[in-house]
A and B are shown apart, each in its own frame.
Chain A
């Protein structure tokens, strides 16, 4: 399983594409929004939590179809399915690899973009923490969506349609954490609920995704 993780990471970094693209997209969103709504500091500070979370979510969405598509095309997914490790484990590892190359970098650059968007200083810690705890859920849910659409020719758009409603709870709680954190309120409730979603989906969704993969590989 570790070998698989290393392989996926190496492929993602050397083959380019997904890794940098998500980050660049995130950066673009954070730069374009002030250009669109105007440079007024108070307004930006108010919408910064939502913008940053939506940006992270869309950046994550951008690279989802790469989780299984390439392996499906060249047949290595069939080999993985017949390998001695359970398919659920493969899904979990692939979701983890996806998080390491998209969610984690997004989390790390988020404070920088927070400065661009005039996020109050008190919010930065909560921004990093909420993205750190919330983006794994995005990767796992995304892996489920990717597993559903892996056999399809034009899966990309369908994937977004399937995954976006599933992202709603994570987005709401994540943005709420940052908003409350920036305002100096208690963040305990949304933070705990968001972590619960992450843990719950990490525990349950690999099984659903593996079931979908088995159907698609049949």
Chain B
């Protein structure tokens, strides 16, 4: 029993079909609980008022936007090294989700920034590097779309993902150097002293769990869809020959 068994598209689809009915409702439930708890049953912050509650969308989506790229990097490496098609398709499936999370983080950040900082947008290091991350996602998706041969597309996007990771990190530190920011430090850390206060902390954790589950179920769903699309293309090609 090794993890590579799931590189078999059939096995992967079957397992996904078994996991999905559990994970998807679980993610909906966790998100519902976390968001309702966060929105309605936590006190307003004494400085920020009700706007503090945007944290329940902003922080988890920002975390997942970065983690999604990390997952794409891993699956791209697996594709390049072991040539498992499912892996490449999973990377392809994750990209639009990652882009969506990036955009959610940017939009909720802007909505929060308007009343708090007095501006929708500032060229702050974190904001700028998220904008650049969105551009990386766009380029990656566009490259997938543009190349016709699926194997070539998988190879090229994997190379782009690896090089992009290095430059995304570089940009992160470059913008840090360029402008000291408005954005506050991390909301969560293992060092308990630095965390946001307990009332906000627990629902936030629930929301993060919900976003992780959401990401997992969306990636599974989209990967299975990609596998089916690939199969459909093969069937159509075969019919055309016959």
Contacts and interface: CB of A to CB of B under 8 A. Distances in A.
A162 B178 CA distance: 22
A151 B152 contact: yes
Dominant secondary structure of chain A at its interface with chain B? helix
Q: How large is the interface on A (under 10, 10 to 19, 20 to 34, 35 or more residues)?
A: 20 to 34
A161 B144 CA distance: 13
B167 A168 contact: yes
B80 to A, nearest CB: 9
B174 A173 contact: yes
A212 interface: yes
B79 to A, nearest CB: 12
A164 B138 CA distance: 12
Contact of B163 (A144, A168, A193): A144
B159 A162 contact: no
Contact of A168 (B152, B159, B171): B171
A121 to B, nearest CB: 25
Contacts of B70: none
B159 A208 contact: yes
Interface in A148-170: 148-149, 151-152, 154-155, 158, 161-162, 164-166, 168-169
Contacts of B160: 148, 162
A173 B159 CA distance: 25
Contacts of A14: none
B202 interface: no
A165 B156 CA distance: 17
A192 B155 CA distance: 34
A191 to B, nearest CB: 12
Contacts of A205: 163
B96 interface: no
B177 A193 contact: yes
Counting chain A CB atoms within 10 Å of each CB, the highest count among B143, B156, B168, B177 belongs to B156
Given A165-B167, A215-B156, A216-B156, A152 B146 contact: yes
Interface string B144-170: 001100001001100110111001101
B146 A172 contact: no
B167 A166 contact: yes
Q: Which 8 A-B pairs have the closest CB atoms?
A: A169-B174, A165-B135, A215-B155, A162-B139, A169-B170, A172-B174, A168-B171, A161-B139
17 contacts: A148-B159, A151-B147, A152-B146, A158-B139, A161-B138, A162-B139, A162-B142, A162-B160, A165-B135, A165-B168, A166-B163, A166-B167, A169-B171, A190-B177, A205-B163, A208-B162, A208-B163
